[in-house]
Chains A and B, each alone.
Chain A
Amino acid sequence: MPRPESDSIWVIGVAMTPFRRYSDADAYDLGGRAALAALADAGLTMADVDVLAAGSVNQARPYPAQQIQRRIGQTGIPAYNVLNACATGAAAVRVVYLAIAAGEASIGLAVGCEQMGKKGLLGQAAPVAADRYVPSGKYGAVMNIEGVLGTGLMPGVFAQAGMTYAASNEGVGFEQFAKIAVKNHSHSTLNPLAQYRKEFSLEEIMAAEMISYPNTVLMCCPTGDGGAAAVLVSGERLATMPSEVRRRAVKISASVMTSDPYVADGLVQPDVNTLTRNAADQAYARAGVGPEDLDLVELHDCFATAELLHYDNLRLCEPGGAGEFIDSGAPWRTGRTPVNVSGGLLSKGHPLGATGVANIFEVTTHLRGEAGDRQIADAKVGMAHVIGLGSACAIHILERAAA
């Protein structure tokens, strides 16, 4: 293999715990397990790590990075806690990436972890009725407006986002959204790390309990627990590492983070599209690749409606052609651009903080040719995408070493 460019940054270790519910471990235990496994995968220990970044959403306090250090090794290195909604894990990866790019570290560890338990789909307490109406908050509301002035809960928000796309594009409706869930549940049957591994027919998915039309319960990601970790290294340092580490190294050709630019309706309906498009365009430009070069994509399918939007946002299909894209079978593992061969958030699961590292685990594993039954043959280039409402979008484009 050619000597890695000294200013390049590589992934040399990845791991994730199975995503499921854990009653015998907390989020930091799961983050620690994943971190140890990722370090072992890289042939390293905590003593080799120059910088640590870690994140969780529900367990953001009392500080995942230090909690994980206490569990697996307190070496006194700089440790950063990150919180960026569902892009938290990807933000941890990017903090490590930036530390290496800045020359302050040559080996870094990024960890995402989460424990959601059976938090429930909506994750919200019951509104408390007030004894007396007093305007409060930024809208001067006299009561909880959830359900009174529309919905701001995730299933409804992403349902509306999908319906906005359906409003302006032909051939997109309930059936197209449901087909995405058929695909991801089917893909998950090949992934031993997935929370659910059960196939469903289109009819079963469409007839399942309606949560927020057009998303039925089988079109919404589950809550769950898990940890995922990645070890990053500078090209300069990688060049000094054993040939086996170099052979399995995966290059980060683009690491991009965006937030919401202003759009007129964005304060009423979260805009998951513009920042994703911006991130995709920047990532393709930086990596010097196009959507046609991608052998697999792990994208943020928190709801089936979301995945359909991102076909268009990530330029995987013709503008406006996301309905036709799923109808054609293109994003199936046997199709032109396999999407969410892990089972995606819909079936692999979505422990919030872990997700943005877990998708880098998935893409890296395929690029190394180590994905077992679900391996995409001869995968050379892959994309990992996450979006957290607020919003934050992270995209990483990864490439196999040219050995």
Chain B
Amino acid sequence: MTQAQVKTIPVVDYLCLDGGEPKLTALVCDACGAHYFDHREACASCSSSGPFTRADLPRTGRVGAFTIVHRAANGVRTPFVSAVVYLDDGTAVRANVVNCAPSPEQVHLHMRVRLVTFELGTDSEGTCAIGFGFEPA
């Protein structure tokens, strides 16, 4: 099987893998501009029932908060760095910081980071799940 034939699926539906560089997308409230990663009944900020328009998000940002998780749910490899990343447009995203030693000496608040994607696993039909994280920029 060549690389082109491998079927992929994003780990979550707000990770866009449809050609070009992988990117995160958000639903944006037309009325007030609030950003969402989840499906919406209405806007939590202004209560407008929409419409919501899907928009691409910047691929770079800064670490606004992080923790280094040493004791995790079963099956999760530790330690890992969990972070809230503020993208360059201000949108907050929760993800792991990767390609960086999981120690408070290596991860810094306000650190510049960029989006990266990687394989998470393959299911029984050969579909490969693609995850994302942020690495030091």
Residues of A at the B interface (CB closer than 8 Å) are 121-122, 124-127, 129-133, 135, 138-143, 145-153, 155-156, 159-161, 163-164, 166-167, 174, 209-215, 262, 264-265, 267-269
Other-chain residue from A122, A131, A164 in contact with B72 (beta carbon distance below 8 A): A122
Query: Within B24-39, which residues are at the interface with A (CB < 8 Å)?
Result: 34-39
Flag whether B51 is at the interface (Cβ < 8 A): no
B-chain residues with CB within 8 Å of residue A132 when the two chains form the complex:
123-125, 127
Q: Do A151 and B67 have beta carbons less than 8 Å apart?
A: yes
Q: Do B94 and A264 have beta carbons less than 8 Å apart?
A: no
Closest chain A residue to B125, Cβ basis: A132
Flag whether B11 is at the interface (Cβ < 8 A): yes
Roughly how many angstroms separate A286 CA and B63 CA in the complex, as a whole number? 39
Q: Do B84 and A213 have beta carbons less than 8 Å apart?
A: no
Roughly how many angstroms separate A267 CA and B34 CA in the complex, as a whole number? 11
Q: Do B131 and A148 have beta carbons less than 8 Å apart?
A: yes
CB distance from A142 to the nearest CB of B (A): 5
Given contacts A133-B129, A264-B90, contact A167 B71 (CB under 8 A): no
Q: Do A163 and B96 have beta carbons less than 8 Å apart?
A: no
Q: Do A163 and B65 have beta carbons less than 8 Å apart?
A: yes
What are 16 contact pairs spanning A and B, CB under 8 A?
A130-B123, A139-B38, A140-B10, A141-B13, A143-B11, A143-B120, A152-B94, A160-B83, A174-B104, A210-B68, A210-B71, A212-B70, A213-B68, A213-B70, A262-B34, A269-B84
A-chain residues with CB within 8 Å of residue B12 when the two chains form the complex:
135, 139-142, 145, 149
Q: Which of A133, A151, A161 has the most CB of B within 10 A?
A: A133
CB distance from B79 to the nearest CB of A (A): 8
A-chain residues with CB within 8 Å of residue B73 when the two chains form the complex:
122, 124-127, 146-147, 153
Flag whether B44 is at the interface (Cβ < 8 A): yes
CB distance from A18 to the nearest CB of B (A): 27
Given contacts A212-B68, A213-B70, contact A166 B34 (CB under 8 A): no
Extra inter-chain contacts (7) besides given A127-B75, A145-B12, CB under 8 Å = A132-B127, A148-B131, A151-B67, A163-B67, A262-B45, A264-B91, A269-B94
B-chain residues with CB within 8 Å of residue A215 when the two chains form the complex:
67
A-chain residues with CB within 8 Å of residue B132 when the two chains form the complex:
149
Roughly how many angstroms separate A141 CA and B11 CA in the complex, as a whole number? 5
A-chain residues with CB within 8 Å of residue B92 when the two chains form the complex:
264-265, 268-269
Other-chain residue from B80, B94, B127 in contact with A133 (beta carbon distance below 8 A): B127
B-chain residues with CB within 8 Å of residue A167 when the two chains form the complex:
64-65, 109-110
Closest chain B residue to A146, Cβ basis: B73
Given contacts A147-B77, A163-B66, A164-B64, contact A212 B71 (CB under 8 A): yes
Roughly how many angstroms separate A214 CA and B67 CA in the complex, as a whole number? 7
Q: Do A147 and B65 have beta carbons less than 8 Å apart?
A: no
Flag whether B93 is at the interface (Cβ < 8 A): yes
Other-chain residue from B36, B67, B104 in contact with A156 (beta carbon distance below 8 A): B67
Closest chain B residue to A263, Cβ basis: B45
B-chain residues with CB within 8 Å of residue A143 when the two chains form the complex:
11, 120-121, 129
Roughly how many angstroms separate A267 CA and B29 CA in the complex, as a whole number? 15
Q: Do A264 and B68 have beta carbons less than 8 Å apart?
A: no
Q: Do B45 and A160 have beta carbons less than 8 Å apart?
A: no
CB distance from A200 to the nearest CB of B (A): 19
Closest chain A residue to B44, Cβ basis: A262
Given contacts A140-B12, A147-B77, contact A268 B82 (CB under 8 A): no
B-chain residues with CB within 8 Å of residue A125 when the two chains form the complex:
73-74
Given contacts A127-B73, A163-B109, contact A150 B35 (CB under 8 A): no
Q: Do A142 and B65 have beta carbons less than 8 Å apart?
A: no
**Hey, what's the 0/1 contact readout for B28-61 against A, CB within 8 Å counting as 1?**
0000001111110000110000000000000000
Closest chain B residue to A165, Cβ basis: B65
Roughly how many angstroms separate A195 CA and B45 CA in the complex, as a whole number? 41
Q: Do B83 and A142 have beta carbons less than 8 Å apart?
A: no
Closest chain A residue to B33, Cβ basis: A264
Given contacts A164-B65, A210-B70, contact A148 B13 (CB under 8 A): no
Flag whether B116 is at the interface (Cβ < 8 A): no
Q: Which of B34, B44, B125 has the most CB of A within 10 A?
A: B44
Roughly how many angstroms separate A256 CA and B56 CA in the complex, as a whole number? 41
A-chain residues with CB within 8 Å of residue B94 when the two chains form the complex:
149-150, 152, 268-269
CB distance from A391 to the nearest CB of B (A): 13
